[in-house]
Structure 1
Amino acid sequence: MAETVGSLLSSIPDEWGPKFETTSGAVTHTVTGPNSISYRTPSHMAVVMLSPQPGREVALNSDGRPQFLAPVGTVEIIPASSDLFARWTVPKENLLLALAPEQLSKLAALEFEREDFEFLPPPAGHVDEKALLLARLVRDEIQKGESINHLYMGSLLTVFSTYLLRNYSTLQDYPSSRYRGGLSPKTWRNVQDYIRANIGEQLSIERLALLAGLSPSHFMRAFKQTTGQSPHQYILSMRLELAERFVITTDMPLAKIASLTGFANHSHLTASMRRHKFTTPSALRRGRFIR
């Protein structure tokens, strides 16, 4: 799996599951146990249970270790620099989201026009169905390994982070800044030009939103209103069209085409083209000589 594992998740054993990091945050899908863990959190963290945990123990900045039932969808919020202890007595599947304080403060400023906030952890065993839906979407994407869509994952983590700020922090009483409508023609041209010029790079929602002068969540809404597609869908379509043109009109190696058009490798390009175009680069190139 193509991944960048930084300090945000360094306290989580690698063997527990795959890790992935973007400018929006880091995430790991863990399957382990029975087990326990104890550490000081280097970042804000959110855990969503994807399997039930009877008799779970969690202590946050405390010596007390109460046991409780954590059903599927249980959300736990751990603020940065907290002393955390957790123990589980059955095999556990969960999603762990790690968010750097400075990055989250920037997001809060864009979304709520306030950088200062505190997280408000919910009571033990608190179930949140929307957080569970987001966690499952992130899990499904991270399980794709090398075929992971970096822009889509960044979008999911941005939406997830905004949701946590809106529902589990002191910002819950602050309305997010209001924006309606699509991108202006000039902004849309600038965004299009930037995407075309950087189609082979790992594009991020944060960079595109900054270019448009909008918060990430407002940019995603305005982009879809303008194009009828989400940013990751639109950019994937552009990449596939460009790759198809290179395959048909040049003798460039397929691995090189994959690199130039923003795919992780030849197999990633092949899998994406098969899924969305119902063909493969090799088939397209063979067809060039059959006509």
Structure 2
Amino acid sequence: MPGLLSQRLLGGKLCLQLLPRAAYSARDPAQWQTLGVTLERQQGVHAIDSDHRVDFDTLPGVLAYTPVGVEVFSESAAGGESLLMRLDEQFANQHLPAVGHRVQSAGNRQALSLAREVRRLLLAPQPDTLALEQCALGFVGLAQRQTETTQRAIPKAFTRVLDQIAEQFHQPLTLEQLAASYGQNELRFLRDFTRAIGLTPHAYIVEVRLQAARRMIETTDLSLASIALDSGFAHQSHMGSAFRKYLAMTPSHYRSHF
């Protein structure tokens, strides 16, 4: 994946960072107020404001607000693409609720949509500062309304579906197959999946394929046609459409850029 991309906004009051998928082990003493949104599923171990380490399995679309002074340790063998926004203390105190603990919510469709737009803007050769500032303030608005303090545990049936997608994303997958893994009918599965992640199953699979294609473009010399097929797209132009829609560039431009 490309290295960390960052952009300072509003005269340095905010800093947006797109964190790439990579193994990591980090302890953040939270000297800044931070807002984070996951763009990919992440698994590992963490400790939030304590020495007690627990396993985590975090879905895309989790919005987390961590105030100054809350120490976060996190470690993952693979990581996952995520967006982090750091706010200076004066700005955060003016616009975010005063809390003494980490606050997070899962399946936040608006946060995930904003994060994907920020990703597109940060990857652009010439970032649009005004558009980035508007997205950043959109995150602040979401955090102002955030009240849920814990992430819901992922049901084992749901984990089976995510594992199935991770293993078979390069193959054609149907709603019937995924619902069978979930153990419910198609309508119930579609509703539960969309609520948990903030994306429909189809949109989630496209994102997984897009991430796989990005990694292959960055780390191999395979042709774009081969990468399209290996990552589950029907053909190269199908992959190109996804790149243009979600990253605002063609696969060949992405390869030359990164």
Provide TM-score, normalisation by structure 1. 0.46
Question: Which sections of structure 2, spanning at least 5 residues, go unmatched?
Answer: 150-247, 249-258
CA-atom RMSD in angstroms: 2.6
* Partner Cα distance (1:43, 1:64) in 2: 23
Give the secondary-structure state (helix, strand or coil) at the position aligned to 1:167: coil
Matched, 1:163 2:142: yes
Greater C-alpha Rg: 1
Match of 2:95 among 88, 97, 107: 107
Deviations 1:85-122 (A, max 9, x none): 111122421111111121122335xxxxxxx6226634
Matched, 1:152 2:152: no
Matched, 1:131 2:88: no
Deviations 1:199-224 (A, max 9, x none): xxxxxxxxxxxxxxxxxxxxxxxxxx
Match of 1:94 among 44, 67, 82: 82
Question: Which sections of structure 1, spanning at least 5 residues, go unmatched?
Answer: 1-14, 109-115, 171-274, 276-291
- Aligned amino acid, residue 62 of structure 2: T
Matched, 1:21 2:2: no
* Partner Cα distance (2:140, 2:49) in 1: 23
Provide closer, same or farther for how the CA distance between residues 102 and 168 of structure 1 changes in structure 2, counting only shifts above 3 A.
farther
Provide closer, same or farther for how the CA distance between residues 91 and 118 of structure 1 changes in structure 2, counting only shifts above 3 A.
closer
Check conservation: 2:46, 2:53, Cα contact below 8 A: yes
Task: Give the equivalent residue in structure 2 for 1:237.
Answer: none
Check conservation: 2:103, 2:146, Cα contact below 8 A: no
Task: Give the equivalent residue in structure 1 for 2:20.
Answer: 31
Over the matched positions of the two proteins, sequence identity in percent amounts to 18
Provide TM-score, normalisation by structure 2. 0.51
* Partner Cα distance (2:47, 2:122) in 1: 28
* Partner Cα distance (2:98, 2:79) in 1: 34
Number of equivalenced pairs = 147
Matched, 1:117 2:105: no
Provide closer, same or farther for how the CA distance between residues 107 and 43 of structure 1 changes in structure 2, counting only shifts above 3 A.
same
Provide closer, same or farther for how the CA distance between residues 128 and 121 of structure 1 changes in structure 2, counting only shifts above 3 A.
farther
Provide closer, same or farther for how the CA distance between residues 86 and 141 of structure 1 changes in structure 2, counting only shifts above 3 A.
same
Check conservation: 2:70, 2:102, Cα contact below 8 A: no
Deviation at 1:157, TM superposition (A): 0.7
- Aligned amino acid, residue 92 of structure 1: G
Provide closer, same or farther for how the CA distance between residues 126 and 169 of structure 1 changes in structure 2, counting only shifts above 3 A.
closer
* Partner Cα distance (2:128, 2:100) in 1: 29
Deviation at 1:46, TM superposition (A): 1.7
Provide closer, same or farther for how the CA distance between residues 97 and 119 of structure 1 changes in structure 2, counting only shifts above 3 A.
farther
* Partner Cα distance (2:79, 2:87) in 1: 25
Higher RCO structure (Cα 8 Å, ≥6 apart): 2
- Aligned amino acid, residue 116 of structure 2: R
- Aligned amino acid, residue 156 of structure 1: C
Deviation at 1:16, TM superposition (A): 4.2
Give the secondary-structure state (helix, strand or coil) at the position aligned to 2:83: strand
Give the secondary-structure state (helix, strand or coil) at the position aligned to 1:92: coil
